[in-house]
Amino acid sequence: MQGQLIGWAIWFFVIVLSAFTVPYYLLGAFLYWGIFAIVAIISVGIITSKWRD
Amino acid sequence: MKASYIYAAIVIYFIIGTIVALYAKRGMVNGISDFFLANRTIGGFVSALTYSATTYSAFMLVGLAGLTYIGGVGAWGFELIYLSGLVLVAFFGPRFWLAGKKYNYITPSEMLGDRYQSKALQIITAVASILFLIPYSAVQLIGIGALMSGMSNGAIPFMAGLLIATFVAIVWAYMGGMRAVAWTDSLQALVMITVSTLSVLFVVYGAFGGFGGLFEALEAKFPKWLTVPGPGFFNHKAFVALALPWFFFCLSNPQVSQRLFIPKSLGAMRTMVMGFLAFGLVYTFISIIWGLSARALIPNLKSGDLATPSLLALDVVPVGISLLVMVGITAAAISTINSIILSLSSMVTQDIVKQLSPSMEENKLLSVGKIFVPIFAIVALIFASLKLGLIAVLSVASSAGLLVIVPAIIGAFFWKRGTAAGAITSILVGGIIAFWFQFGGVKPLGWGPGIWSGIVSASLFIIVSLLTAAPREKAEEFISYVNSALKEKNAI
């Protein structure tokens, strides 16, 4: 569990950091942020799909 | 627009909402947990809609559309970074829910007070929330007053709009507590998303022949609005200073984080999170398109806040649709206000009165909590009617000011060495910095108050905690329980 927690935390840190920087420094912005949001939503979906009632 | 149309629409909206509130009230039993948290029995669909309606205020179709009008697609990035802050719920949602159920927490500040074994921390967190959220509610009321007055060309006085919104918020929150608020929020969320989608389709297809036409018009006349930093408002420092505090909104704002206690199961919480993310993505897109449409159609407005009222006044939007949008914006504001006053009332009850009078019986505590529902609403009304500049400052500072609670929340679940002294210092000093920098327009190194309040509060929490004694036994018991329960639920 600890490993998963750290792995997902790093993943989210990277994609959120990219949302703060990529549209400004590498790019376009409209599409990048849209794709970023969809990737974040899918990631949350993967994590929460494993929850047990 | 005729004032009689607006009054008729508001009366119909109030009657339907009250029927829903009465329906929701049927399941009520007496008790604090039921009044403030619906006994933690809310299903996933209603949880998703109340979370959406509480989070999305009149800011979206007025403020965010206005930011888009003056700053372009940077507003889209800012709002989507806020939406992506819900990734924090994937980590903290199950933790809040499990701890709340086990220790019977009603408010997030109660959880902090117990975890760090400090009544002072509990009271200070509650007071900080009240100080920042009353002005935030007042700004919502000001929005409704200005909208009704503007759309009726002054036939509906500004004060009448304020009184109508306050009355509706009090009736629904007082009538059935969290059950009534959650169900009326659900109705309002559906109204918000439906009417905003309809209105945007009317504008985009009526004025531009479709989305392709809108973007062609923007490319031809306002290409900068499709780029960052664009026309200049969203330079990188402004973008970061705006977006970063809002990323933590789901943890920092008690009216939102308290909703992590209410789902009936983790399955319901999953529906809540995913439902909100879908709602937020659509509602954000609509608000941005609304602002871009205003830029293409009416480019010479003096202020971004005028974009929505001006767009609604155009012939391309039928009167009926304009009226529905006004109801949708009013619903967005009221659903945020009544959630805030209910949340603040629960904090007065659990975090202040109960701590100062530990022997008070539950039914008396509940009576105190109910009394504070109209009190907070009326205080917000008085603030709004004064139209003080200070209200806007406090409201804008609320995201930076409430951000200072986040280090203590993270520490509660992940750091056994965290202490009450560290949490109190970080909240007090961070909160003062947020207010001072916002009020004084102070921007060291060009960064806004949200950045500095976050850095200062996180640093102070760590440093002061390392210098003071932690409640070892409670920290060990609390974190061990949460971790073992998470394992059982297969949550990370």
Who's near B382: CB < 8 A, 6+ residues apart?
none
Answer whether residue A1 shows pLDDT above 70.
Answer: no
Whole-number percent of chain B with pLDDT over 70? 98
Q: Does A3 touch chain B (CB under 8 A)?
A: no
The Cα–Cα gap between B193 and B284 comes to 10
Q: Distance (Å) from the C-alpha of residue A28 to the closest C-alpha of chain B?
A: 7
Look at chain A and report how many structural domains it folds into. 1
Answer whether residue B375 shows pLDDT above 90.
Answer: yes
Look at chain B and report how many structural domains it folds into. 1
Higher pLDDT, B420 or B290: B420
Q: Please tell me the predicted confidence (pLDDT) of residue B392.
A: 64
Number of helices (H), then strands (E), belonging to chain B: the values are 23, 0
Q: Does A29 touch chain B (CB under 8 A)?
A: yes
User: Mean of the pLDDT values across residues B465-470?
Assistant: 97
pLDDT band at residue B397, thresholds of 50, 70 and 90? confident
User: Mean of the pLDDT values across residues B233-251?
Assistant: 90
Tell whether B479 is covered by a domain.
no
Number of helices (H), then strands (E), belonging to chain A: the values are 2, 0
CATH code for the domain of B80: 1.20.1730.10
Higher pLDDT, B132 or B413: B413
pLDDT 10s digits, B42-97: 999 899 999 999 999 888 988 999 989 989 989 999 999 989 999 999 999 999 99
Tell whether B331 is covered by a domain.
yes
Q: In this structure, what token pair is assigned to residue B152?
A: 């009726």
What's the whole-number average pLDDT of chain B? Answer: 92
User: Mean of the pLDDT values across residues A40-47?
Assistant: 96
Q: Does B43 touch chain A (CB under 8 A)?
A: no
Tell whether B407 is covered by a domain.
no
- Taking chain B, what is the end-to-end CA distance rounded to the nearest angstrom? 53
**Cβ pairs A/B, distance under 8 A:** 101
User: Mean of the pLDDT values across residues B390-404?
Assistant: 78
User: Mean of the pLDDT values across residues B422-432?
Assistant: 96
Backbone angles phi, psi at B448, to 5 degrees: -75, 175
Q: Please tell me the predicted confidence (pLDDT) of residue B379.
A: 94
Q: Distance (Å) from the C-alpha of residue A11 to the closest C-alpha of chain B?
A: 11
Contact across the interface for A51 and B266, Cβ inside 8 Å: yes
Answer whether residue B390 shows pLDDT above 70.
Answer: no
User: Mean of the pLDDT values across residues B423-436?
Assistant: 94
pLDDT band at residue B389, thresholds of 50, 70 and 90? low
Answer whether residue B316 shows pLDDT above 90.
Answer: no
> Is residue B77 within 8 Å of B228, Cβ to Cβ?
yes
Report CA-CA distances (Å) from B63 to B24, B198, B251, B329.
31, 19, 22, 11
pLDDT 10s digits, B283-298: 999 999 989 999 999 9
Contact across the interface for A40 and B73, Cβ inside 8 Å: no
What's the whole-number average pLDDT of chain A? Answer: 91
Answer whether residue B332 shows pLDDT above 70.
Answer: yes
Tell whether B185 is covered by a domain.
yes
Identify the domain containing residue A33 by its residue range: 2-49
Tell whether B240 is covered by a domain.
yes
Q: Does B84 touch chain A (CB under 8 A)?
A: yes
pLDDT 10s digits, B16-25: 999 999 989 8
Contact across the interface for A20 and B226, Cβ inside 8 Å: no
Who's near B337: CB < 8 A, 6+ residues apart?
B137, B140, B141, B165, B166, B169, B377, B380
**Residue carrying structure tokens 């760090």:** B116
Answer whether residue B388 shows pLDDT above 70.
Answer: no
Answer whether residue B202 shows pLDDT above 90.
Answer: no
The Cα–Cα gap between B379 and B134 comes to 8
C-alpha count within 13 angstroms, C-beta hemisphere, residue B439: 12
Q: Please tell me the predicted confidence (pLDDT) of residue A13.
A: 93
Tell whether B216 is covered by a domain.
yes
Kindly give the residue spans of alpha helices, DSSP state H, lying in B222-361.
Answer: 236-247, 249-252, 254-257, 266-297, 307-312, 319-347, 354-356
Q: Does A10 touch chain B (CB under 8 A)?
A: no
Q: Distance (Å) from the C-alpha of residue B77 to the closest C-alpha of chain A?
A: 6
Identify the domain containing residue B63 by its residue range: 3-387
Answer whether residue B256 shows pLDDT above 90.
Answer: yes
Who's near B399: CB < 8 A, 6+ residues apart?
B245, B246, B249, B252, B450
Q: Please tell me the predicted confidence (pLDDT) of residue B347.
A: 95
The dihedral built from the CA positions of residue B364, B370, B373 and B378, taken in this order, carries a sign that is negative
> Is residue B156 within 8 Å of B149, Cβ to Cβ?
yes
Answer whether residue B182 shows pLDDT above 90.
Answer: yes
Instruction: Output the CA torsion B100→B103→B109→B115 (10° steps).
Output: -120
Q: In this structure, what token pair is assigned to residue B91?
A: 């980590």
Tell whether B172 is covered by a domain.
yes
pLDDT 10s digits, B137-171: 998 898 889 888 888 878 999 899 989 999 999 99
